[in-house]
Structure 1
Amino acid sequence: MIDLHTPRYSGAEAAKACGIPVTTFRSYFARGHFRVFGDARERDANGLPHQFSLRDIVGLAIAIRLMDSTSITPASAFNVGMKFAHMGNNCREPGRAFNFHEFGETAILYWPQSDRSRIMPFDKLTLHDLAANEKAVSVLLVNHAIGDVYKALGLDPMVAVIGSEPPADASDWEEIGEIVSE
């Protein structure tokens, strides 16, 4: 089972997993766009380097992807990423995608006019969800973004893309990989 919760990754590892230079990564924190959270606050207060959990890094990577693909501010992107990383529901654990077989790709919808976001299965999107009485909406599919984080940290990216741990029967896992790569 992959541990999403324990802070064990350095800022340099987090930056690499997010696909940005470590200086850029650190500047988001130094400028107050991204905030130190959780156990990192205590480490920061004691002068120790920050450590990030896998869940934190996934949220930060989503924030970076949102900034790369929309006009979202870094602070708003951070909030959306942390919402994904630290909030879930009965169908999705915090920091994980929805189960691909049940729900398809996981999407984050972002409405810039109201600075609102919603996490939902892409297959369940309707025109009503997209419009929401606003002029524009951005949709970010996150499964492969999470997979990129896992791969950069030496973890199995297929777990991230699928949104669940491997099944007991390894032949099922191969079948899943074929479905995703189509």
Structure 2
Amino acid sequence: MIIRALEETDLDFVHHLNNEYSIMSYWFEEPYQSLSELQSLYKKHLHDESERRFIIETEQTRIGVVELVEINFIHSNCEIQIIIDSQFGGKGYAKSAFKMAIDYAFLVLNLNKIYLFVDVNNEKAVHIYKGQNFIIEGTLQEHFYARGEFNDCYVMGLLKKHWVNQHDNDLSQLEP
């Protein structure tokens, strides 16, 4: 499995993911986006230094997306987001891709902190994040609206000094 830079040819796949209600409700996003809107956003953000978007791929099959967004080089932090196509869930891809993106943020971008927002009821995701040494820094009450109700979410974070002590820092699976 690898992660590689998102290309314009991947937009049909991303469009598919972005229109899956079960996926987007965990991202606190409306599960609707036209392909033309996605293409426009891609072109608008092509040279945006505040984000890095990667396709997760195995044996030339796209299985998900992992993103570093809101990259702030002054404060040396970013938000991380991941989506795995439901047909590939439960096979360890999220954990591996998540680690690769974390390695990229700390080794390539030289960031100090990575954070994320996760629905308090998304136990599977919280488990994956804790497995990567993210800690719950707080709970935001009724912060996102999804599935017809307001939901609490955790803010979770990982500092580089905690990552360095726990990982072997192997970037061999990351393609340029």
Please state which structure has a larger fraction of its residues in strand: 2
TM-score of the superposed pair, with normalisation by structure 2: 0.29
- Structure exhibiting the larger radius of gyration computed from Cα positions: 1
Q: TM-score, normalised by structure 1?
A: 0.28
**Larger relative contact order (C-alpha < 8 A, sep ≥ 6)?**
2
